[in-house]
Amino acid sequence: MRMIKKLMWKSRVRINSIFFIAKRYFKTKRESSSLAPAVLSVFGILIGVMVLTSVISIMNGFQFGMIENILEIRSYHLRILPERSGFLEKNEIEDIRNCRGVKAVLPFMDIQTIVKSSYSDFIICLLRAVEKNVQAIDPGLIKQLNIISGKFDLSKKNSIVIGNLMASCLGVDVGDSVRISSIVGNSFNTIKQKQSSFRVTGIFKSWERNIDLNTAFISFSDSKSITQENEKMIYGVKLKNHFDDTFQKHEVSKLLKSKAKIISWREYNRSFFGVLRLEKLMMMFLIGLIFIVVGVNIFHSLQKTVYERIEEIGILRSTGASLKAIQLVFIIEGLYIGLIGSVSGLILGFFISGHINEIFAVFNVFPTTYFYMDKIPARIGFFEILFIFLFSVLSSVLAAFSASSEINRINPAEVLRYE
């Protein structure tokens, strides 16, 4: 027992001495420079982590905002397309709504039309026909649309809710009338034009330009005046967790009695989300090169430290210090550099991400007059921040490990011969 305690005490003393020497090396200035190179290395890590954290957070804010608009308004998490009759039975819809993990089921029809007012020419419009009580069926849709004038009310005959950019192009406001035209027919000989007048009851602003410019909502009963009778229905399913789409797609398919095609949000928006993923990966790769450059600087800095402290290393070796212990001193110094730089960079990155609008307002970098948004969104992802932190610390430790390998070439007898 005494032997074990003695060994533990010796190992503790050895570890404490290693950390003490590493801390002294980290703080001490070199003879050849006025500023400790470790400070410059810490500053390089700090800048890299700060830039990468703030850029990724802002990119997440923009991307998640676009994704939420697409999933909540346009594509939904799952799309059910009945193949034969074009409709699902009421008991099938209720079964899907009661399915665990399903938040809402909204039947709708997308109609390609053109719309004009008394003050404008025709503009392209994606007209979505929904139930009159859509607020109760899918409250998330109303929340995401963000009504800025009037209200989302389709209860009255020939009511329409339009985007703010469409209202601006048409020169209309709540209470004004617009005329919608559509082309119906199954062949060239049966093609005909249908027109109907609608009254604006609400104007929304989703902060997605294409949606606000080209999207409008009407009720199913009013859609009959501008579309053909055999128009197929689409059933949008929203999930409590949209990442469970694969499992829920399988569960929903088991509840369907009629034959239908189910498309998840990953399939429906594959090309768009693929571009977003590639954009983020390339941004992380390009900014991640900062860590490689800083790692090389740390390597050369610690390598130079090894040669400048060659007499001290020789003394440590002559007093019984092992090569691994001395090598560990420089590795811990690299760990100090990585930890201090990474933590400081994360703190500054979080501050910039949380106050990016105030910072841009001071320098007038982001005037809202020229951009289709009133503020820059920022969203911090835990796993991305963890990856940035680990990568920056690991690059410092690996650089220190490579530099400390030069110690193996030092012969203490030759070093101390002329001392």
- Select from 248, 292, 326 the least CA-distant residue to 398: 292
What digits encode the pLDDT tens for the residues 23-71? 555 555 544 444 556 677 788 888 888 888 888 888 888 878 888 888 8
At residue 13, the pLDDT reads: 44
What digits encode the pLDDT tens for the residues 318-327? 666 677 777 7
HEC readout, 100-139 = CCEEEEEEEEEEEEEEECCCCCCEEEEEEEECCCHHHHCH
Mean pLDDT confidence for 377-388: 84
Mean pLDDT confidence for 78-104: 85
| Alpha carbon distance 379, 60 (integer Å) | 5
Is the alpha carbon torsion for 148, 150, 156, 161 positive or negative? negative
**410 pLDDT higher than 70:** no
- Select from 181, 158, 184, 162 the least CA-distant residue to 171: 162
At residue 174, the pLDDT reads: 92
Q: Please check whether residue 107 is in contact with residue 233, taking contact to mean a CB–CB distance below 8 angstroms.
A: yes
- Select from 415, 397, 418, 417 the least CA-distant residue to 316: 415
- The residue ranges of every structural domain in the chain are 20-66+273-416, 84-258
At residue 33, the pLDDT reads: 47
**4 pLDDT higher than 50:** no
